[in-house]
A and B are shown apart, each in its own frame.
Chain A
Amino acid sequence: MAHSVPAGQKWWSGGKSPFNVEYGKLMMWYFLMSDAFTFGAFLISYGSIRFATNGWPDPNEVFRAFPLMGDTHLPLVFVSLMTFILIMSSVTMVLAVAAGHQNDRKKVTFYMILTIIGGLMFLGCQAWEWTHLHSEGAWWGRNPFVNADGSAATTNFTNFFFTITGFHGFHVFSGVIINIIMLIKNLRGDFEKRGHYLMIEKAGLYWHFVDLVWVFVFTCFYLL
């Protein structure tokens, strides 16, 4: 696609698609741009508050639990599992898009189901993590964790954590809903009748964006 544009062709004089993509897909890209700035604003305000504060809790002390393991010290293990689940569901989503390009309805159904399962698994993990932190006394406006140097920490730590992971989790949730709608439409044969699976691609763009944001959330909250 990218290489087959003849030089000197008048793309902008009407009658052609200058970017050679469907309108909805282009608009999905621009919506994701705006969403990226929303998440960027959240994460940058988090960073700016963190830089403006004297102490900060050590993420390896706060996020160290794993389901059914009792009082363990396993920093980063659970959140890495969540990352793996989300990357994996991103892969099945691309495979669904690829199957759509081959007009293979059965394969699209199969990979969409896998993607939805991955999304639900991620949401389950996040629900567990939130419940666990809440049982330790963390919530908006409440921070039971002390700074790395033992001094009292601000509630900004939990406020930002719950707000940003919550906003991301809500995106995952809406992504799962969108994927379920796409699955139903695919099962009804809507895309087969239409002759193309562009809707799957647009849902896929959104789903990958959710994965993309998680990469940054993972770095900002758990690694740095």
Chain B
Amino acid sequence: MENIQTAGSQHHEPEFNTKPIWRTFWILLGITLVELVLATIHLKTGFPPKYVLNGVYLILTCAKAFYIIAEFMHLRHELKNLIMTIAVPATLFIWFIISFLYEGNSYKNLRNRYDRHHLEMSKEKAPAAEGEHEGHEPAAKKPGAAE
């Protein structure tokens, strides 16, 4: 493989033609647009409840990740053993995500139950002005007001 190839020898690799690249691009763009449309519909009507939408976002994100890794990074066309050395350790993420989010949620619930002061404090409305930053309320934001 170290030989010098002239431009004419055209070492042909059928799996690197540009058609799947563009198809992947359209898929990625389409998924992003679907996410945008869903988010906009939710903002306007509040129809798909947020927790349903979050699940949809996660699935669509994983789909995008799959297409980037499989097609752009070309992993799908590598040997199966190589794919497995990448894919098997990556499954640790499933445990990471579930356990850490569960842990965070449990911490919140326990703290709210045993530290009533914390719960009361977190329900209080934010003060109207916070020191130097007057324009901190999203509804009353003015450009360049903060500094």
A: residues with CB less than 8 A from B are: 1-2, 5, 18-21, 26, 29-30, 33, 36, 40, 44-45, 47-55, 58, 60-62, 70-71, 75-76, 80, 83-84, 87-88, 90-91, 93-95, 97-98, 101-105, 135-137, 142, 144-147, 150-153, 193-196, 204-205, 208-209, 211-212, 215-216, 218-219, 223-224
Contacts and interface: CB of A to CB of B under 8 A. Distances in A.
A55 B126 CA distance: 12
A90 B24 CA distance: 11
B113 interface: no
Contact of B10 (A47, A58, A102): A102
Interface string B124-147: 111100101101111001111111
Interface string B1-19: 1111101011111011110
B72 A208 contact: yes
A104 B16 contact: no
B126 A151 contact: yes
A145 B138 contact: yes
A147 B125 CA distance: 9
Contacts of A211: 68, 72
Interface centre among B2, B21, B71 (most CB of A within 10 A): B21
A144 B146 contact: yes
